Structure formats: C-alpha cells, structure tokens
Amino acid sequence: MKISPQSEFWRFLRDSGVISASTAEGLERKVRDSWMPLGRILLRNRKITPDQMLTILRLQGAEPGQRVGDLAVREGYCTQADVDAAIEFQRQGGPHPLAVLLDDEGVDRDALLTALYGYVRHLEGRAQVLDALLNESQTQGASGD
C-alpha cells in the first residue's frame, strides 16, 4: 500500500520525536479534512454538472489511473484552464501542514526545524536515487540494451 507524501511527512515528524503519534494523527486529520476534492470544486464553480461528474466517476472506475480533471477535459466538459484554476484553489484552500504545526503550541519549534532539515535531506536523497535510475534508464535506452 502506497503512503501519501503528507502521511510520510507526519510519520517522519513522529519518528523524529517532534510530535507524538496522537498529535500527528490529529494534525494530519485537520489538514486532510480541510482538503476539497477537485470534482467538488468544479461542481461548485459550475464548470461541470452533476451528471457530468457521475460520468467522470464512472469513467474513472473503468480507468483508475485517470484523474478527474484529465477526464473532464478529455470529455469536453470543461477546459484545462478551468481544471488548473480548480487545482490552484485546492492548493490554497486548506492550511499548509507547516502552518498547522506552527499553530500547535505543543510543538517545539527548534526540534521542528531540526526535523525539517532532516526531512529535506531525506527528500534530497530520494531525488538523487530517482535521478540515478532515470539516467541509467536513459543510458540503456540510448545504447540499445
């Protein structure tokens, strides 16, 4: 089962001792509950109709790898600009995990900064591994292996 980047973030902070498991769970829930699905935003902004949303969900059931916005554009229900605007609203709609953390009085800011530095180093390491794999794949493709 794949873990979402946000869940990984909360787990990292918990494992670093910055926050307790119960605090991590509560803060993650607070961020998650404020998030609005793209389809709901498109409906609310009247870019798609409820019937179109049902069709999109049926299509997504048949094509699980397809995203709601991509299907809405593909079916001609809305434009890519409509989807992009909805995604931007979605990003700005809820509190950022760091804002939630900084608002929590039980969080030691110095420990948080130390943990965030460690998390950035962790992400950089993953990016280097992905870059190496990509370069290896491109090298093999270019040499005809």
Helices (H), 17-108: 21-33, 38-44, 50-62, 68-74, 80-93, 97-103
Distance CA 143, CA 140 (A): 5
Provide the token pair at 129. Answer: 């591994």
Q: What is the pLDDT along the chain (145 residues), one digit of tens a residue?
A: 566 777 888 888 899 998 888 888 888 888 888 788 999 999 999 999 999 999 999 999 999 899 999 999 999 999 999 999 999 988 887 777 888 888 887 888 898 899 999 999 988 998 898 888 888 888 877 766 5
At 50 the pLDDT is 97
Q: List CB contacts of 64: < 8 A, sequence separation 6 or more.
A: none
Q: Is the pTM of this model over 0.85?
A: no
Instruction: Domain ranges for the chain, please list them.
Output: 1-35+95-134, 37-93
Which of 126, 115, 114 lies closest to 14 in space, CA to CA?
A: 115
- Hey, is 118 helix, strand or coil? helix
